[in-house]
């Protein structure tokens, strides 16, 4: 039993092209994902305070905890601040 290379699976032109020619076939698309903390007194989807410190899990509500049936309400100041950021 012998194994022969399958010519149809080889990139015939890529092996001959220079690196620049290969790179010219691609377009660089760069995206940025930015995480910021807006200057709001409450969380984004509920009225819980966002103060730091204190005991764990005291500033929570059904919305924060993702309990079924809880209805989030968007923080208008956060939306306004995000729009101002652009
Ligand atoms: Zn909450």
pLDDT in 10s for each residue of the chain, 86 residues:
455 555 555 555 555 678 888 888 899 999 999 888 888 999 999 999 998 888 998 999 999 999 999 999 999 999 999 899 88
Q: How far is the CA of 84 from the centre of ligand 1 (A)?
A: 24
Rounded Cα distance, 72 and 14, in Å: 53
Q: How far is the CA of 38 from the centre of ligand 1 (A)?
A: 16
Residue among 49, 27, 44 nearest 78 (CA): 44
In this prediction the pTM is 0.57
Q: How far is the CA of 45 from the centre of ligand 1 (A)?
A: 7
Q: How far is the CA of 39 from the centre of ligand 1 (A)?
A: 17
Q: Which residue has the tokens 């509500």?
A: 61
């Amino acid at each position: 039993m012998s194994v022969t290379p399958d010519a149809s699976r080889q990139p015939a032109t890529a092996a001959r092209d220079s690196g620049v020619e290969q790179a010219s076939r691609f377009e660089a698309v760069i995206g940025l994902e930015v995480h910021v903390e807006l200057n709001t007194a409450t969380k984004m989807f509920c009225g819980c305070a966002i103060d730091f410190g204190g005991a764990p899990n005291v500033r929570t509500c059904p919305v924060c905890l993702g309990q079924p049936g809880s209805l989030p309400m968007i923080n208008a100041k956060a939306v306004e601040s995000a729009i101002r950021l652009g």
